[in-house]
Chain A
Amino acid sequence: MNTNDLLNKILSYHQVLVDSRFVEQVIGRIERLHRMRQWILSFCTLAGVFFGFAGLSYLINYTSLTFLADLPGTTTLLSTLAISSVVLFLFWVFNDEFERP
């Protein structure tokens, strides 16, 4: 056996490393990271919705108060539309299947 063959023989991988714990650890870490990402996204979304509503109520109180006070039915309708739009938007943001058919 020449030295090149000997080197190739020595340097080849002799063991097949199959360890189910390794796979479980990797998947466990991926799922933890995924959950953390979801928490951060949810928190940011809720914070956005909260501040959005705060701003909206501020505007309603100071600019449209008289108009909306005369039409209480309109307020309910607008609120329903706004909430439905937010819910639909969040559903679209969190649902990856919309992006890839």
Chain B
Amino acid sequence: MNPDSELIARALTESDTDAFGELVKRYQSTIRQFLRRLTAGDHALADDIAQDTFITAFQKLGQLKGTGSFKSWLHTLAYRRFLRVIQTGANKYETPCDVSWQQLSTFDAVEADLLAEKLMSHLDLNERTALTLNCSEGLSHQEIAQITGIPLGTIKSYIARAKSKLNTLLSSQELQAS
């Protein structure tokens, strides 16, 4: 498998869309999943933003600095694109969705992702972003701060607050079920 840097170089110097297509294939899942979490399960919107993200990435490949990874850079573009879209749209993601205890014990991958997306609707946008990047992507607090441009201390407090909210929600669901 070609390393990212080689594919990026080919896409940059030869405008090789096949090389860039390989990068899209490689990172589509993580970017689409990330945006599905941010939109709390609006798959159509998430995929639209994901497409725009990759197109912006192709246009701005020359600006990619050697300091960070391509994946982190894609997340930064996706996050900024998402912010721009929601600034112009309604605040429909602020309505929390119902979560049932039965869903928590599901083994189906599709159901499990839908549940995680529903849980996101109980968090505000900054908490959603920080928690997804931390728990789902496995990024460090420092990396999240770089992607979002939010100070490190604030990121830590967003994650702690988000976890606390979800723990409370899960505990209440457990109580209802028992």
Contacts and interface: CB of A to CB of B under 8 A. Distances in A.
A16 B109 CA distance: 9
A30 to B, nearest CB: 5
B116 A10 contact: yes
B44 to A, nearest CB: 12
Contacts of B40: none
A23 B21 contact: yes
B28 A27 contact: no
A18 B29 contact: yes
Interface residues of A, number: 29
A56 interface: no
A97 B13 contact: yes
Contacts of A34: 15
A41 to B, nearest CB: 14
Given A7-B163, A11-B119, A27-B17, 8 more contacts: A3-B167, A8-B135, A11-B136, A12-B136, A23-B24, A27-B20, A96-B13, A100-B13
Interface of B: 12-13, 15, 17, 20-21, 24-25, 28-30, 32-33, 47, 50-51, 54-55, 58-59, 104, 109-110, 112-113, 115-116, 119, 131-132, 135-136, 163, 166-167, 170-171
16 contacts: A7-B170, A14-B110, A14-B113, A15-B33, A17-B29, A17-B32, A18-B29, A22-B24, A22-B32, A23-B21, A23-B25, A26-B24, A26-B51, A27-B20, A27-B24, A97-B13
